[in-house]
Amino acid sequence: MKYKTFFAISETKFQAQRLLHIFWVAQLTIALVSMQRMAVQYWTEAAIIAAVSLSLIPVYIFAKRNAPVAGSNYLAIVLTFTMIYFMWPNEGARDEILLVFPAIFTFSVLSGSLATSFILLGIVLANILLMGYSEQFEFYEFVPARNNLNTSTLIVILIAVTSFAIWLMARDLKHALKSLKLENARVLESQEEIQKLVHFDTLTGLPNRSLAKIRFDFTLNQSIRDSSMLCLLLIDLDDFKHINDTLGHDSGDRFLITIGSRIKSAVRDSDTVCRLSGDEFLVITSNVNSDADAQKIANNILDCVQEPIELDGNKLVTTCSIGISMAPEDGTSFEELCQRADMAMYKGKEKGKNEAQFFNPDWMESRSQSLALTADLRLALSENQLEVYYQPKVQLQNGKIVAAEALLRWHHPTLGFVSPEVFIPLAENSGQIVEIGKWVIEQACEKLTIWRKINASFSIAVNVSSIQFKRGDLSEFLKKTLQKYQLPGQSLELEFTESLLMANTQEVASELQLIKQLNTSLAIDDFGTGYSNLSYLQNFEIHTLKIDRSFMYELRENKKNIAIVKAICQMAHSLNMQVVAEGIEDAETAEIIKGFDCAIGQGFFWHKPVPADAFASLIQTDNVASKSDHPEL
């Protein structure tokens, strides 16, 4: 709206300026005609013409006040009626003054209103007809036409001035047309730029998602006509965040530009390479006759991406994971194929990254089940479907219960018990693990207030997710909960996997430090199956190592596992750390572990996880006997 107003004001000023030019041309014409009339001693006509000159002064005022339309109408009316006035006492329709009217009409159309222009045209035409009628029927007799020097001079003046006025208006018109042409060129250029912004990625110059969809539709129709397959390859760089975090976003952007260029060089000219977002690229390729053809294209991309890139003196190497979907086999819509290629790409990352994975239709059923379970899980807490079970931790020397591990169970209303291996990842992916995790800690603390009256040193270990740490409020919640139940920090132990420490982010480090200030113990769960990087044991004050249950299986027959378990126990003791062996299922394994000076054991050999009421009975009796046959879950 502001731009429209600006251009309207500019146009008004331009028209007012043009009206001033016409005003002075009109005054010059009147002055010349007046002098010509005085030269032939037509004093009356000269006086009338002078009066007309004075009557045009309002035109000048209109122009100065930026009212060009009103001034133009006024000027056209005065000049037209002046012309008609001089036609009647002279030669009528043959009078040379009629030569002025085409200029008056042209000016009126361009600068005044159309209504005024055509009204004046009608008046002039009516007057010409009236003059002819009057002379034919002898109502009025006009002066006979004379062709002498005075008449010719007047005609020359009128033609010259009229031509000049028309030229002046034509010049303005040409100027306006030229400006319009330039403006049109700028608009076209702007449209091209807008189209580029709409359809192309501003960083890499590659087509974006919007253009990718357009080209997909075109390529799909072409593939249908050729009876061939269309292939969609979704490419995601592995661990690109590390490059951004280490070298900065500017270097990361230049890295992405290089990768985009490499991918484009790895495929055919007829293929479309797009950047969807961040470090995600998409390749649309047609005339694919088999999975082997698609695999070959994917392998070319994998090879070109992992070639080293020199950037600011650093040699960077990255890999990518590729998800592949085929049309029409896996779908025929752009969104559908992108979604399925995305599923395939993440399956590739789960298998170890740096590989291409084809979409498998069987995943759709699993995905649907996961979505349904995730939706049900949102209601599980509020509808009391979740319950905390407790598994004893016992001293290997005397079999006494000294602690417990809190284990979450889900009683689904229709599916029955849902395995934690199924619903815990769903809770983490959906973010529900934060709320559920706090509820588990609250439940454990509530039971601690009761069970520590039986055993004052009793403690409970609770599993926590890396997501809970990264939220940044776990330590504050622990502090408030411990204060609420008046519990010492050492009554609670937090178990987490090695991957949390390997991330080594500022958020995690800060939370661990705050938790240690509460005297809450930290335990590494499933130790020996992950990174087993001992450097983090020096950086973080870890209290307990839990040897993974996989090392307990057939321990006597497996010499390698015996060596690993023994080494872990020796290392832990040298670092003043406690060792817990989980997954012990028989007396023989318990004896072997006890021989390594492992103090605490946990497993079905003593008892399976049980609800809180049943566990309370275990503490009351504290008479856990060794069993040769352990109970089933």
CA 532: distance to chain centroid?
A: 39
Give all strands (DSSP E) within 552-620, no chain letters: 578-582, 600-602, 610-611
- 349 and 383 assigned to the same domain: no
Q: Which residues contact 109 (CB under 8 A, 6 or more apart)?
A: 117
More confident residue, 341 or 29: 341
For the chain, percent of residues with pLDDT exceeding 70: 88
Given this model, what pLDDT does residue 630 score? Answer: 41
pLDDT over 80 at 175, yes or no: no
Given this model, what pLDDT does residue 155 score? Answer: 61
pLDDT over 90 at 235, yes or no: yes
Q: Give 463's strand partners.
A: 495
Helix ranges (H only) for 40-67 are 43-55, 57-64
- SS3 category, 232: strand
pLDDT over 50 at 344, yes or no: yes
With respect to residue 184, please indicate whether it lies within any of the assigned structural domains: no
With respect to residue 278, please indicate whether it lies within any of the assigned structural domains: yes
CA 555: distance to chain centroid?
A: 54
Question: Are 66 and 13 spatial neighbours (Cβ–Cβ below 8 Å)?
Answer: yes
Given this model, what pLDDT does residue 299 score? Answer: 93
With respect to residue 626, please indicate whether it lies within any of the assigned structural domains: no
pLDDT over 60 at 76, yes or no: yes
- 229 and 257 assigned to the same domain: yes
> What's the pLDDT tens digit per position in 143-166?
776 656 665 666 666 666 666 666
Handedness of CA 434, 435, 438, 444 (dihedral sign): negative
- 225 and 353 assigned to the same domain: yes
The number of residues making up the chain comes to 633
- 465 and 580 assigned to the same domain: yes
pLDDT over 50 at 515, yes or no: yes
- 422 and 552 assigned to the same domain: yes
- 164 and 277 assigned to the same domain: no
Given this model, what pLDDT does residue 6 score? Answer: 40
pLDDT over 80 at 499, yes or no: no
CATH number at residue 289: 3.30.70.270
Mean pLDDT of 40-66: 86
- 138 and 221 assigned to the same domain: no
DSSP string, 452-478: TTT-TT-EEEEE--HHHHHTS-HHHHH
> What's the pLDDT tens digit per position in 538-559?
667 788 988 888 888 777 778 8
Mean pLDDT of 586-603: 90
Separation of alpha carbons 559 and 549, rounded Å:
16
pLDDT over 90 at 259, yes or no: yes
- pTM: predicted TM-score of the whole model, two decimal places: 0.54
> What's the pLDDT tens digit per position in 464-493?
988 888 776 889 999 999 999 999 999 999
Separation of alpha carbons 275 and 147, rounded Å:
83
With respect to residue 235, please indicate whether it lies within any of the assigned structural domains: yes
Question: Are 613 and 580 spatial neighbours (Cβ–Cβ below 8 Å)?
Answer: no
Least confident window among 4-8, 204-208, 364-368, 434-438: 4-8
Separation of alpha carbons 390 and 585, rounded Å:
17
360, 377, 409 - which closes a domain:
360
What integer best gives the mean pLDDT of the chain? 84
Given this model, what pLDDT does residue 7 score? Answer: 43
Given this model, what pLDDT does residue 402 score? Answer: 92
pLDDT over 70 at 626, yes or no: no
Given this model, what pLDDT does residue 159 score? Answer: 65
Mean pLDDT of 346-375: 84
For the chain, percent of residues with pLDDT exceeding 90: 30
Mean pLDDT of 190-218: 83
Question: Are 294 and 231 spatial neighbours (Cβ–Cβ below 8 Å)?
Answer: yes
pLDDT over 90 at 232, yes or no: yes
Residue numbers of the domain that contains 166: 2-178
Separation of alpha carbons 37 and 392, rounded Å:
128
> What's the pLDDT tens digit per position in 385-417?
999 999 999 999 888 999 999 999 999 999 889
Mean pLDDT of 59-71: 89
- 427 and 398 assigned to the same domain: yes
Query: 523: exposed, middle or buried (C-beta count within 10 Å: 0-12, 13-18, 19+)?
Result: buried
Given this model, what pLDDT does residue 119 score? Answer: 92
157, 178, 199 - which closes a domain:
178
Mean pLDDT of 76-103: 84
- 352 and 417 assigned to the same domain: no
pLDDT over 90 at 201, yes or no: no
- 355 and 473 assigned to the same domain: no
317, 334, 360 - which closes a domain:
360
- 394 and 468 assigned to the same domain: yes
- Looking up tokens 């990842």, which residue turns up? 425
- 545 and 427 assigned to the same domain: yes
Given this model, what pLDDT does residue 350 score? Answer: 81
pLDDT over 60 at 9, yes or no: no
More confident residue, 348 or 189: 348
With respect to residue 241, please indicate whether it lies within any of the assigned structural domains: yes
Given this model, what pLDDT does residue 2 score? Answer: 42
Mean pLDDT of 580-608: 90
Cβ atoms < 10 Å from Cβ of 66: 14
Banded model confidence at residue 633, pLDDT cuts 50, 70, 90: very low
Mean pLDDT of 208-234: 89
With respect to residue 199, please indicate whether it lies within any of the assigned structural domains: no
Question: Are 523 and 600 spatial neighbours (Cβ–Cβ below 8 Å)?
Answer: no
Given this model, what pLDDT does residue 281 score? Answer: 95
With respect to residue 185, please indicate whether it lies within any of the assigned structural domains: no
Q: Which residues contact 329 (CB under 8 A, 6 or more apart)?
A: 229
Q: Which residues contact 180 (CB under 8 A, 6 or more apart)?
A: none
Given this model, what pLDDT does residue 558 score? Answer: 80
Question: How many domains would you assign to the chain?
Answer: 3
Given this model, what pLDDT does residue 487 score? Answer: 95
Instruction: Tell whether omega for the bond before 68 is within 30 degrees of 0, i.e. cis.
Output: no
With respect to residue 268, please indicate whether it lies within any of the assigned structural domains: yes
Given this model, what pLDDT does residue 150 score? Answer: 63
Given this model, what pLDDT does residue 224 score? Answer: 84
Given this model, what pLDDT does residue 624 score? Answer: 42
The amino acid at residue 110 is L
pLDDT over 60 at 504, yes or no: no
